[in-house]
Chains A and B, each alone.
Chain A
Amino acid sequence: MRTSKLTLTAGYTALLLISALFIIPFVWLVRSSLMDLSQIFIMPPEWIPSPFHWDNFYRALTIVPFGTFFTNTIVIVVSVIVGTVITSSIAAFGFSRIQWKGRDTVFGILMSSMMLPAAVTLIPSFLGWKILGFYDTYYPLIVPAYFGGGIFNIFLLRQFYLTIPRDFDEAAFVDGATYFQIYLRIILPLSRSVLIVVTLFSFLGTWNDFMGPLIYLKSDKLYTLALGLQMFQGSYTAQWDLLMAASATVVLPCVIVFLIGQRYFLEGITLTGLKG
């Protein structure tokens, strides 16, 4: 699109302003996490901590067992990612590279479940896990990932598999390969970048999940970071220095993962026209 100099300058200024608005909460988070309470409460606000209170992080992370919460979260996140990547890519293969009767109808039915509010399945799922004796364990948070890993991920992978030329499979077939060999040796190696997208989305989805752990976990020692942070907020209401240090710790891994995988994120969203 050809644009005049004036429009370009106006647009540039607007972008600068908007970016500033989006970034200020991060700056506010970091600066508050490094100040002591007396400096935090100065009005009008100061922006540079003096001195830098790195000990806020130590204090915030030791008052509440954040180390345990961190390990718990990693255990759940890794288990979910493994299940999601394996089963969603297998299912997506079945929905795109094998021609079978009723395939697209079945896929359509699964897709329609994305419209269903989580609230509808919430109560029976909870009761089911409870009856089986798995309340206050990680099973309710992990096991579903081993059953397809979410229709959104299957959709994402299927969209990609559909773009791989048919000849690849047919040539392999002629050579006597089985479906499973085609999946493992041809399709999987070609879909590295989409698998990374799925990994990143399930990392964020699980790391950020709040309602799941809230409903299924009771014991403090099983808490995830999201839940632990919320509990921390409940007991240290006005301690903004410690609250911000704890929040920054929970945010940081997400930011790092995003910055490393940025290219894949944007590709993934664009590939499907769907949000993660």
Chain B
Amino acid sequence: MRKRLFYGLLFTSPAILGFIIFTLGPMIASFVLSLTDYNVFREQTAFVGLDNYIKLFSGEDDLFYKSLGITFYFVILRVPAVIIISFVIALLLNMNVKGRAVFRTIIYLPSIVPAVASAMIWMWLLNPDLGLVNSFLSTLHLPTSNWLYAEGSVIPSVVLTTLWGIGGTVIIFLAGLSGIPKQYYESIDVDGGGWYSKLRHITIPMVTPTIFFNTIMTIIGSFQVFNEAYILTQGGPNNQSLFYVYYLWRTAFRDTQMGYASALAWVLFLIILFFTFIVFKSSKSWVYYEGGERT
């Protein structure tokens, strides 16, 4: 027995050490830092207790609430959009159509494009004067937009650019859909029901575990959006796309207030934990596990 424990720990030791060095240690250090006024360019660092957190919530730092609001707005727009659109695409791909594999490849492909390149392509597509999107809209005599360059449209535009990369979510939905036994649909055929009753009574209930999983992953990812903020907008125009993690990065690495930025990081962690917890709690009432089997 002791031998097995020894070998078990030996084989897993790189991972366990990695966890301690690169996750647990920094996590504790981050919390300690958040209780100090550590600044790279100052000689002395003082323990300030909860001052950083008080400063955040008291409203003294109005950019904190601003970035929080912007990020919430982004999450609220993006999560339903990602879930609904990728579910619909997965439904279409799940039909027995010719060239299914080709469609699947085309839809997955954008999700492997490096964020910097993807941002570059979208900046050019959404260019207000010379971009393809506006020129297409004006050909159809539809109103054009300043997209990433106007305060009102910047967040929806960023959401739009990230929708190009939903291929991964689509594939996970597709895996969930293909796991539904065919016999279930036959019973609806016998009852004379159409595609709507199949969708409503079989597909959606059966795919709720996948919806649940994708929702959690999309929420966690959306709260942490950074690349798009950094490359597409640099937080602009007029701080209207000051995403939370971008603000955190700016505070830590440009303004070098690392103690304060650590407090920002912990607040983000708690927010994400809270929302994950809410979705988990709510899942009991809407996620359906067939025969208690978890997929």
B121 touches A25 (CB 8 A): yes
If A12-B97, A22-B110, A119-B224 touch, whether A100 touches B248 (CB-CB below 8 Å) is: no
Q: Is B21 among interface residues, defined by CB-CB distance under 8 A?
A: yes
Cβ of A172: which chain B residues have Cβ within 8 Å of it? none
B30 touches A120 (CB 8 A): yes
If A101-B5, A147-B15 touch, whether A123 touches B33 (CB-CB below 8 Å) is: yes
The residue in chain A whose Cβ has the minimal distance to the Cβ of B120 is A247
Please give 16 more A-B residue pairs, beta carbons under 8 A apart, in addition to A94-B11, A230-B231, A273-B175. Answer: A4-B195, A11-B92, A15-B97, A40-B130, A94-B7, A100-B9, A110-B19, A115-B272, A115-B276, A124-B25, A124-B30, A211-B227, A211-B249, A214-B230, A233-B231, A250-B116
Cβ of B276: which chain A residues have Cβ within 8 Å of it? 115
Q: Bound complex: CA of A243 vs CA of B33, how far in Å?
A: 40
Cβ of B16: which chain A residues have Cβ within 8 Å of it? 106, 110, 148
Q: Which of A11-27 contact B (CB under 8 A)?
A: 11-12, 14-15, 18-19, 22-26
Chain B's nearest CB lies how many Å from the CB of A245? 11
B268 touches A119 (CB 8 A): yes
Q: Is B59 among interface residues, defined by CB-CB distance under 8 A?
A: no
Interface set of A (CB-CB < 8 Å, partner B): 1-4, 7-8, 11-12, 14-15, 18-19, 22-26, 28-29, 32, 40-41, 43-45, 87-88, 90-91, 93-95, 98-101, 103, 106, 109-110, 113, 115-128, 144, 146-148, 151, 154, 179, 183, 204, 207-208, 210-211, 214-215, 225-227, 229-230, 233, 240, 243-244, 247-248, 250-251, 254-255, 258-259, 262, 265-266, 269-270, 273-276
Cβ of A243: which chain B residues have Cβ within 8 Å of it? 120, 124
A151 touches B15 (CB 8 A): yes
A109 touches B8 (CB 8 A): no
Q: Is B261 among interface residues, defined by CB-CB distance under 8 A?
A: yes
Cβ of B182: which chain A residues have Cβ within 8 Å of it? 1
B22 touches A125 (CB 8 A): yes
Q: Is B46 among interface residues, defined by CB-CB distance under 8 A?
A: no
If A100-B5, A273-B172 touch, whether A247 touches B112 (CB-CB below 8 Å) is: no
Q: Is B83 among interface residues, defined by CB-CB distance under 8 A?
A: no
B7 touches A179 (CB 8 A): yes
Q: Bound complex: CA of A266 vs CA of B9, how far in Å?
A: 32
If A22-B109, A122-B252, A276-B168 touch, whether A147 touches B21 (CB-CB below 8 Å) is: yes
Q: Bound complex: CA of A179 vs CA of B6, how far in Å?
A: 11
Q: Bound complex: CA of A211 vs CA of B115, how far in Å?
A: 10
Which of A41, A98, A120 has the most chain B CB atoms closer than 10 A to its own CB? A120
Interface of A is mostly: helix
Partner pick for B175 among A146, A207, A270, CB 8 A cutoff: A270
If A3-B96, A207-B114 touch, whether A273 touches B124 (CB-CB below 8 Å) is: no
Q: Which of B235-284 contact A (CB under 8 A)?
A: 245, 248-249, 252-253, 258, 261-262, 264-266, 268-269, 272-273, 276
Interface set of B (CB-CB < 8 Å, partner A): 1, 4-5, 7-12, 14-19, 21-23, 25-27, 29-30, 33, 89, 92-98, 103-110, 112-117, 120-122, 124-125, 127, 130, 132, 135, 139, 164, 168-169, 171-172, 175-176, 182, 185, 189, 195, 198, 210, 213, 217, 220, 223-224, 226-227, 230-231, 245, 248-249, 252-253, 258, 261-262, 264-266, 268-269, 272-273, 276, 295
Chain A's nearest CB lies how many Å from the CB of B163? 10
Partner pick for A244 among B29, B112, B124, CB 8 A cutoff: B124
Q: Bound complex: CA of A118 vs CA of B248, how far in Å?
A: 12
Cβ of B266: which chain A residues have Cβ within 8 Å of it? 120
Q: Bound complex: CA of A25 vs CA of B171, how far in Å?
A: 20
Cβ of A14: which chain B residues have Cβ within 8 Å of it? 92
Q: Bound complex: CA of A27 vs CA of B103, how far in Å?
A: 16
